[in-house]
Structure 1
Amino acid sequence: MASESSPSDPAAWLALLDWRRQISALYARVRELRDSDPPAAHALWQAERNRLFRAHSQSPLLPEARADFVSLPCWPYDPALAFSAPVEFLPLERLDIPSSTGQAMPLVRFGRVELPVGTLDVYWIDVYGGGVFLPFRDAGSGHESYGGGRYLLDTAKSADLGSAPGGALVLDFNFAFHPSCFYDPRWSCPLAPPRNVLDVAVRAGERAS
Structure 2
Amino acid sequence: MKKIVLFLCISLITSCNSQGKRALVGETEYQQKENARFKDASKSPLKKKDLKKFKGLDFFPVDSAFVVTAKLTRTKNAPVFEMATTTDRKPLYKEYGTLNFTIKGKDLKLTIYQSQDDTRDEKYKNYLFLPFTDDTSGNESYGGGRYMDVMTTDISEENTVILNFNNTYNPYCAYNDRYSCPLTPRKNHLNIEIKAGVKAFEKH
Q: Give the TM-score normalised by structure 2.
A: 0.73
> Unaligned stretches of 5+ in structure 1?
1-40
1:42 Cα deviation from its structure 2 partner: 5.8
Identity %: 30
Q: Which has the higher contact order (CA 8 A, sep 6+)?
A: 1
Aligned counterpart for 1:60 among listed residues 42, 45, 49: 45
Match of 1:113 in 2: 99
How do 1:191-206 and structure 2 match up within 5 A? 191-206=183-198
Deviations 1:20-51 (A, max 9, x none): xxxxxxxxxxxxxxxxxxxxx96111112111
Aligned counterpart for 1:82 among listed residues 67, 79, 82: 67
Match of 2:146 in 1: 150
**Are 1:71 and 2:67 an aligned pair?**
no
How do 1:2-17 and structure 2 match up within 5 A? none
1:79 Cα deviation from its structure 2 partner: 0.4
Match of 1:100 in 2: 86
The number of residues matched between the two structures is 166
Q: Which amino acid aligns with 1:85?
A: A
**Does the CA contact (< 8 Å) of 1:84 and 1:164 recur in 2?**
no
1:93 Cα deviation from its structure 2 partner: 3.5
**Does the CA contact (< 8 Å) of 1:108 and 1:123 recur in 2?**
yes
**Does the CA contact (< 8 Å) of 1:96 and 1:106 recur in 2?**
yes
Q: Which amino acid aligns with 1:108?
A: K
Cα separation, 1, equivalents of 2:31 and 2:156: 22
Cα separation, 1, equivalents of 2:86 and 2:136: 19
1:110 Cα deviation from its structure 2 partner: 2.5
Deviations 1:85-104 (A, max 9, x none): 23111231432221122322
1:67 Cα deviation from its structure 2 partner: 1.2
Shift of the 154–116 alpha-carbon distance from structure 1 to 2, 3 Å rule, reads closer
> Unaligned stretches of 5+ in structure 2?
1-25
Of 68-77 and 126-135, more deviation after overlay is shown by: 126-135
The structure whose Rg is larger is 2
Cα separation, 2, equivalents of 1:199 and 1:50: 29
Cα separation, 2, equivalents of 1:143 and 1:63: 25
**Does the CA contact (< 8 Å) of 1:180 and 1:189 recur in 2?**
yes
Q: Which amino acid aligns with 1:81?
A: F
Q: Which amino acid aligns with 1:145?
A: S
**Are 1:132 and 2:128 an aligned pair?**
yes
Aligned counterpart for 2:175 among listed residues 158, 169, 183: 183
Counterpart secondary structure, 1:65 = helix
Cα separation, 2, equivalents of 1:48 and 1:161: 21
Deviations 1:173-206 (A, max 9, x none): 0001001111011111111111111111111000
Q: Give the TM-score normalised by structure 1.
A: 0.71
**Does the CA contact (< 8 Å) of 1:96 and 1:105 recur in 2?**
yes
1:105 Cα deviation from its structure 2 partner: 2.3
Cα separation, 2, equivalents of 1:85 and 1:167: 9
